Amino acid sequence: MHARLSSTEENYLKAIYKLTEHDVQGASTNAIADQLQTRAASVTDMLKKLAAKLLVDYKKYQGVTLTEQGRLTALSIIRRHRLWEVFLVQKLHFGWDEIHDIAEELEHVSEPKLIQRLDDFLGNPTADPHGDLIPSAHGELPETDQILLNRLQVGDSGMIIAVFEHDPKFLQYLDEVNLNLGKQIGVVKRVDFDDSMTIRFADGRELVVSKLVSSSIFVQKHA
């Protein structure tokens, strides 16, 4: 295993993981700077450091990718973040809109024994309170068949299983309209003009959701 990384180094690995997760291409310096709200020059310096530690592959003009070691390290940081989020909601009774910033700090405590005991204490959860899947200690992520709500057509139905957006204001809105994880919904109407949709809950209640909302929620579609 590698020597301990600083919180900043860990945040870079996480940012690069997120930027390259669904993409074969590397992350650009500018995209990383955007994600971490820092200057491109600082990014370049840090990438050289991480490349020297064999955590990233950094080729000019091709962008940055994680090495296998870098990918496993990023997944272990994500694992810690998501386990702490479960702990904060289940054991300390925080709301799902309050936990992200706290977990951003706790994720940098990397003692493996602590994290394994936390995982066991929580009953080895597979998803965090936002529905994001928790990587195993070996860096494996369970398969998922989630799709964005806005991909459903009229007549389709499914269950809300995760949120793409973690902004507290968004999560508070979902609480207000009772659009939480585990809810069963069906699509009764779509408006082509603005891509809004009307969904119906199991109890018959209907709700109009904007394109922004329907593209920030993941569902598991019923066959």
Q: Does the footprint of Zn ion cover residue 14 (CB under 5 A)?
A: no
H-helix segments, the chain: 7-20, 29-36, 40-52, 68-90, 100-106, 112-121, 168-176, 211-214
Q: Which of 13, 100, 149, 216 binds Zn ion (CB under 5 A)?
A: 100
Of 71, 67, 51, residue with least CA distance to 138: 71
Determine the interface stretch with Zn ion among 55-63, 96-104, 111-119, 181-189 (rule: CB under 5 A).
96-104
Measured from the CB of residue 173, what is the shortest distance to Zn ion in angstroms? 17
- Whether residue 203 contacts residue 209, with contact meaning beta carbons closer than 8 Å, is answered with no
Measured from the CB of residue 126, what is the shortest distance to Zn ion in angstroms? 16
**Strands in 104-169 per DSSP E:** 147-148, 157-163
Distance CA 222, CA 218 (A): 13
Determine the interface stretch with Zn ion among 22-30, 35-43, 65-73, 95-103 (rule: CB under 5 A).
95-103
Cβ-based nearer residue to Zn ion, 94 or 201? 94
H or E element, residue 57: strand 56-59
Q: Does the footprint of Zn ion cover residue 183 (CB under 5 A)?
A: no
Distance CA 68, CA 92 (A): 35
Cβ-based nearer residue to Zn ion, 37 or 153? 37
Measured from the CB of residue 91, what is the shortest distance to Zn ion in angstroms? 16
Q: Does the footprint of Zn ion cover residue 79 (CB under 5 A)?
A: no
Cβ-based nearer residue to Zn ion, 58 or 84? 84
Could you list the residues that contact Zn ion (CB under 5 A)?
A: 100, 103
